Structure 1
Amino acid sequence: MEEKTQVLGPTYSSTITDLETLSNASVQQEPLKASRKFLWVVPLAPHAHPIQFFFLMLAVFVPIAIIVFIASAQSFYILIRITSVSHETGDITGSLALYSEIISLVFVVFWGVFSDYHEKRTVMALGIIIMGIPAICYPYATNIYPSLLLLRLVFSVGTAATTSMMAAFFIEVVNGKGGLASGILGASSGLGAIFSVFVLFMVPSYLNKAYQDYTKSLNITFGVIGGCTVFLGMLLYFVLPKSPNVLKQKERHPPRGKQELLPSSSSSSFFLVRWCGYFANGVLDFIFKIKCGVLAAKDPRIALGYTTSFFARADEIIITNFVSLWITQYYIENGTCEVGSPCYTSAATSGTLTGIAQAVALVACPFFAAGSEYLPKEFPIMMAGLIGAGGCIPFAFSIDPTSKASMALVVLIGIGQYGMIISGLTMVGGDHVPVDYRGSVAGTYSFFGALGIIVLSKLGGVLFDRWMKGAPFLLLGIGHALVLVLSIIVYLWGRFSKKASH
C-alpha cells in the first residue's frame, strides 16, 4: 500500500521538501505548547487549525485510495488484457514499479524545490490532480511499452508530490512527539486503502452487470474515479494548512560548500533558465541532505528508522501489486478466469482478502501510535517486525492464496506494515533528532523507502515469474525479521549507553 507511499506509504509514502533546516529552526522558536489540538488530544503547530488537520487527513486518504486502486486494477483489469499472456506479468509488474520509482525520485527533488517557493498545499493539490489525469486514460492503454509505461510515469509524478508533502506536512503541522498524529495519519491511509478495495474495486463489476460490456465499464469506472480525484485535488488547495515559511528567491542560500547555481539577475526573467537554476540547486541540496542524513545514521535509532522505511514502503507496493497478481494467476491456472479478459472473480476475491486484512490492521494503528508515544520507540518496531515476519514467511509458501489461512496471514502482513510505517516515522521524527538535521533525516528516510521499492519490487517480480509466486513476500518476511533483530540491538544499545553515562 502506496504510499503512506506509501504516510503513511506512506505510504503510507518519499519526501525531499523545502529547506527544512530553516523551516524547523523557525518552528522551534514558536511556543512549545501548541495553540490548538485536534480532537482535544493531538497537539498542532500554532499556525494549523484542527479543521485544516482534518483536511490533511483527507489529503492522505485520497492519494492512497487511488494508488491502491491503480496498482491492483493494473493486475486484473489492464495488464493481462493487454499482454494476453500470464507467464511474464510478475517481471512486467516489477519493472513498471521500478521505472515509476526512479521517476518519483527525480520529481521528489523537483517538488522539493517547488515547495521552497510555493506553499506545500499547492504541491499537494497539483500532485493529486496529476494523479487523476492518467487514471482517466488508463483503460485506453493498448500496449505495455510505451502507452502503459508513460501513464505510470505521469502517475508517479503526482505520487511523488503527494507522498513528499505528506511527510513535510507532518513535520510542519504537528507539535510534540508526533506518535498520536502519525497514528491518525496512518489510519487515514488505511481507510483510503480499505475504501479502494471495498468500493472502488467493485465499481467495474457492478457496471459490467448493467452494461454487459467490460470495455465500457472500465472506461466509465476510470473516468469517474479519475475525474473525482482531479476535483478533490482542486478542492484541497483551498482547505489545507498554509505554510508559515515559504522561501523567497532572495532568501534562498545554498548549503555550506556549494556554489550558487541560480542564474544572474539579467537572465532572471527567463522562466526556463531560472527554474533550471533552481532545479540544479535542488539537486545539490538533495545530495547534501542525503549526505547529512547518512551521517546522522551514526545514531542507531535513526539508522533503524531508515531500515523500517526501506521495507515498509516496499510492503505497500508488493502487497498492493503482487497479492492481486498472484490471485489472478491462481484463477487462470484453475480455469476460473481467462487470459485476455478482465477477471472479476479475482477482483472480488482480492478486494475481500486485502480489504478485511486492511480493516483489521487498521484497528492496530492506535496501539502502535500509543506505543510510539508512551513506550520506548523500539518496542512498537519490534512488534511490527515480529508480526510482519510471522505473516510474510508462511504466506510466501501458501498453496492457495485465496484460503482462509492466507487471509489470516495477510492480516498479519497488514498489521506489520502499518506498525512499521507509524513507528518508523516517529523514530526519525523524535526529539533525539537534532533540529538542524530534521530535514535531511526526513529526506533520507524517504530516499531509503524509494530504494526499497526499486530493489524489492524488481527482484520480487523476477522471482515471482522464475521461482515461485510467494517470492516477493519471502523477501519482505526476511526484511521484517531483520528489523526485529535490529530493533532489539538498538534498544539494548540505548539501555547500556545510558548506564555507561551514569
Structure 2
Amino acid sequence: MASQRTLFTASRLQTLTYLLAVCPFSIAFLVFINSSISFVVTDLIGLHDGEGDVVGTLGFADELLALAACPIWGALSDRVGVRHVCVAGYAIVAISLVVFVQAKNIYPQLLLGRLLFSVGGSAVSTMVTAVLPVVTGSTSRPQEYQRSLSSDSTLTSDQPTSPDAANEPRTVTGSSSRLAGFVGACAGCGALVSLALFLPLPERFQKSGLSPAEAIRSSYYVVAVVAVSVSICCLFGLRNLPGEERKGWKSFLSTFRRQAPEPRQSQGCQDDGLYPLSYWRQLRTAVSLGFQNQEILLGYVGGFVARASSVGISLFIPLFANHYYRAAGLCNNDPPKEIFASDMGDIKKSCSEAYILASILTGVSQLVALLAAPLFGFLSEKSRRYHLPLLVSALSGIVGYLAFALVPNPQFKGPDGSVGVFILMALIGISQIGAIVCSLAVLSNGILKISAGEKFPRAHYEQDRGEQPLYEADRVSNEDQPLLEGSGNQNVQQQYSQLKGSIAGVYSLYGGAGILLLTKLGGYLFDTLNSGSPFYLMAAFNVILFVTGIICGLVNKARSTQAQVAP
C-alpha cells in the first residue's frame, strides 16, 4: 500500500488560523502603532516640540522590554501551550490599544501603554515562530526523518523503506520550509492590512465630523476590537494542536515534578513522564542548543539579521533619503541643513519630497520581498543540507547594502538619478525576506530534528536535572543500566523536543538584539561618521550570516560523508 503524504500534522482550521490570524496580525498591529504614535503624541497629548525624541524613546523602551519578554513568553508556552499564549498576547494588545489613548501625558501614562503593548506584541511575535514546528510536526519514523533532513530533496513515495514502516504515517519533511514561505508572505500581507485598513481610519473618522483627537481615539478602539476578534479566533482555531493536548494554565506554576509513571507496556519501555525544567533552565537549555545543533544556531543568527533588516529598511532608508535632500538643499528650496538620526521625527512633514522617494524605495523593497517569500520557502525545502537559499539572501544583502551605502544619489530620476537604485532595493528586499523565511525554516527543521532523535550530550541534561527529585523508577541496578541507557536518551530527546517555545523565545531574543544594535550603533555612526554607516553595518551582519551558513553546510556535508562510510 502506498504511503500517504501529508503536508501538516495540524488540521486545516488550525493551519488557516496560524496563517491568516497569528502571522499577519502580529505585524499589522505593530505597524499601526508605530505609524500612528506620532499623531497620538501631537493630536491627543498635544505635544508639538520634541516629538521625534519622544517617539524614539517610546520605541526604544518597547524593544528593550520585548528583549526580555520574548524568551519569557516562549518558555511559558512550553508549559501552558502556544494557543493560550496567542490568546493572551492578542488580548493584551487589545487592552493596550484602549489604554494607550487614555493617556494624558507622555510619562508615565503613554510610556506604560506602550510597554503594555510590548508585552502583548512580544507574545504574538514569538508564537509566530513557536507554532510553526507544532503545525508541521514530525514524522513517526525518526531514522527516515533524519535521512531526509540531511538530503537536498524531500522524501518521495518510491524511496526504500523498511517493511515494518510500510503502513506508518508519513510527514513531508519539507513542510516546515514550505510553510515558512507562506508565513513570510502572510506577515507581509499583515503590513498591507495595516496600511490599507487601519492607518486610514483617523482620516475617515475626521471626515465623518469627529475632531482629530476623537478620530485617533476611535481608530484605536476599532483596532482593539479587531485584536479581540483575533484572540477569539486563536482560542477556537488553535484548539487541540498536536503535542499540546496536556498543556494548560494549570501548569503555569508547576512544581516541576513528574507525575507517577504509568505501568510499562513491556520491559525496558520508558514511561511518558518528563522532568519539566524550571523556566530559567528551559531558556538556558534553548540557548545551549544553539551551540549543539547547527540548524538552531543558523536559525538564531538568521533571526538576528532578519529583524535588523526590517529596521534597516523601515528606518534608515527614509533617513538616508531625508539626509540627501536636506544636504543638497532640495527640501522646498530650503538651504542645506545638517540632520541627525535623533531628529528623525516626521519626514513627511519636514520634507515631502524625501518622504515620497523613501516611500517608493521601501515600497519596491517590500513588494519584492512579498513576492519572493513563497519562492524562498520552496527553495529552502529543496536545499536543507547546504542552506543555499539562505546563503543567496545573505549574499544579496552584502551586495545590496554595500552598493546602496556608496550611491551618491538615491533618486531614480533626474540628471544624477538612476533606475539602478531599484535593483539595489530588490536585493535588499530579497535579503530581508530570505533571512526571515529561511531562518524560520532552518530553526523549525532543527526543532523537528531534535524530536526525531538527534543525539546530544547527556551531561548537559544531567546537569539541568541535577536538582530534580529522584524516583524509584530511576534507581536501577548496574546490570540494568545498559538496557535503560537507550530509554534515557529517548527521554532526553523528549525533554529537548518540548522546548519549542523556549527556542522560539531565544530566536526572538536574537532578533531583538539585532534591532537594538542596529538602531543604537547604526544611528550613532550615522551622526558621527557618514549616512551610509548603518548599511555598512547591515552588510557586516549579512557577512556573519553567510559565513555561519557556509560552516553549517560544511558540517552537514562532513556528517553525511561520515554516515555513508560508517559500517
**C-alpha displacement of 1:235:** 3.6
Residue 163 of structure 1: which of 118, 122, 125 is its match?
A: 125
Residue 99 of structure 1: which of 61, 64, 69 is its match?
A: 61
Per-residue deviation, residues 400-428 of structure 1 (Å, max 9, x unmatched): 65656555433322221111111112222
| AA aligned opposite 2:17 | F
Residue 507 of structure 2: which of 420, 428, 445 is its match?
A: 445
1:66 counterpart residue number: 29
Please say which of residues 178-187 and 293-302 is displaced more in the overlay. Answer: 293-302
1:365 counterpart residue number: 373
The residue correspondences of 1:259-408 to structure 2 (distance < 5 A) are 284-324=278-318, 334-335=330-331, 343=348, 345=352, 351-375=359-383, 376-397=385-406, 403=412, 406-408=421-423
Please say which of residues 343-352 and 306-315 is displaced more in the overlay. Answer: 343-352
CA distance in 1, matches of 2:201, 2:123: 27
1:273 counterpart residue number: none
Q: Say if 2:369 and 2:429, in contact at 8 Å, map to a contact too.
A: yes
2:231 counterpart residue number: 233
Q: Say if 1:202 and 1:347, in contact at 8 Å, map to a contact too.
A: no
State the superposition RMSD in angstroms.
4.0
Per-residue deviation, residues 422-465 of structure 1 (Å, max 9, x unmatched): 11122222268422334254443333223222322332333344
**C-alpha displacement of 1:490:** 2.8
1:51 counterpart residue number: 13
Q: Say if 1:72 and 1:320, in contact at 8 Å, map to a contact too.
A: no
CA distance in 2, matches of 1:486, 1:461: 26
Structure 1 gaps of 5+ residues are 1-32, 38-42, 255-259, 263-280
| AA aligned opposite 1:125 | V
2:482 counterpart residue number: none
Q: 1:466 to 1:173 in 2, by over 3 A?
A: same
Q: 1:85 to 1:107 in 2, by over 3 A?
A: closer
CA distance in 2, matches of 1:412, 1:489: 23
CA distance in 1, matches of 2:529, 2:110: 26
Q: Report the 3-state secondary structure (helix = DSSP H, G, I; strand = E; otherwise coil) of the residue aligned with 2:445.
A: coil
| AA aligned opposite 2:117 | F
Q: Say if 2:71 and 2:508, in contact at 8 Å, map to a contact too.
A: no
Q: Say if 1:77 and 1:342, in contact at 8 Å, map to a contact too.
A: no
Per-residue deviation, residues 255-302 of structure 1 (Å, max 9, x unmatched): xxxxx589xxxxxxxxxxxxxxxxxx98x4334433453254244443
Question: Does residue 476 of structure 1 match 2:538?
Answer: yes
Q: 1:207 to 1:319 in 2, by over 3 A?
A: farther
CA distance in 2, matches of 1:312, 1:457: 14
CA distance in 1, matches of 2:516, 2:396: 24
Task: State the TM-score, normalized to the length of structure 1.
Answer: 0.72
| AA aligned opposite 1:99 | A
CA distance in 1, matches of 2:131, 2:284: 20
Structure with greater proportional helix content:
1
CA distance in 2, matches of 1:300, 1:105: 23
Question: Does residue 245 of structure 1 match 2:245?
Answer: yes
1:84 counterpart residue number: 49
Q: Report the 3-state secondary structure (helix = DSSP H, G, I; strand = E; otherwise coil) of the residue aligned with 1:429.
A: helix
Q: Say if 1:77 and 1:343, in contact at 8 Å, map to a contact too.
A: no
CA distance in 2, matches of 1:327, 1:210: 35
Per-residue deviation, residues 67-97 of structure 1 (Å, max 9, x unmatched): 12322444687589846348x74xx666544
Q: Say if 1:135 and 1:226, in contact at 8 Å, map to a contact too.
A: yes
Question: Does residue 429 of structure 1 match 2:423?
Answer: no
CA distance in 2, matches of 1:452, 1:225: 29
**C-alpha displacement of 1:156:** 0.8
Work out the number of aligned pairs and report it.
435
Q: 1:195 to 1:401 in 2, by over 3 A?
A: farther
**C-alpha displacement of 1:350:** 5.2
The residue correspondences of 1:184-203 to structure 2 (distance < 5 A) are 184-203=182-201
Please say which of residues 72-81 and 217-226 is displaced more in the overlay. Answer: 72-81
**C-alpha displacement of 1:195:** 2.8
Structure 2 gaps of 5+ residues are 138-172, 258-275, 335-342, 413-418, 452-492
1:488 counterpart residue number: 550
| AA aligned opposite 1:51 | L
1:122 counterpart residue number: 84
**C-alpha displacement of 1:334:** 5.0
2:260 counterpart residue number: none
Per-residue deviation, residues 136-167 of structure 1 (Å, max 9, x unmatched): 55566666543443222111101121022222
CA distance in 1, matches of 2:309, 2:38: 17
Q: 1:152 to 1:477 in 2, by over 3 A?
A: farther
2:154 counterpart residue number: none
2:268 counterpart residue number: none
Q: Say if 2:68 and 2:509, in contact at 8 Å, map to a contact too.
A: no
- Which of structures 1 and 2 has the bigger CA Rg? 2
Per-residue deviation, residues 13-54 of structure 1 (Å, max 9, x unmatched): xxxxxxxxxxxxxxxxxxxx888x5xxxxx121xx2212211
**C-alpha displacement of 1:382:** 0.6
Residue 73 of structure 2: which of 90, 107, 111 is its match?
A: 111
Question: Does residue 456 of structure 1 match 2:450?
Answer: no
Q: 1:420 to 1:113 in 2, by over 3 A?
A: closer
Residue 409 of structure 1: which of 424, 429, 432 is its match?
A: 424
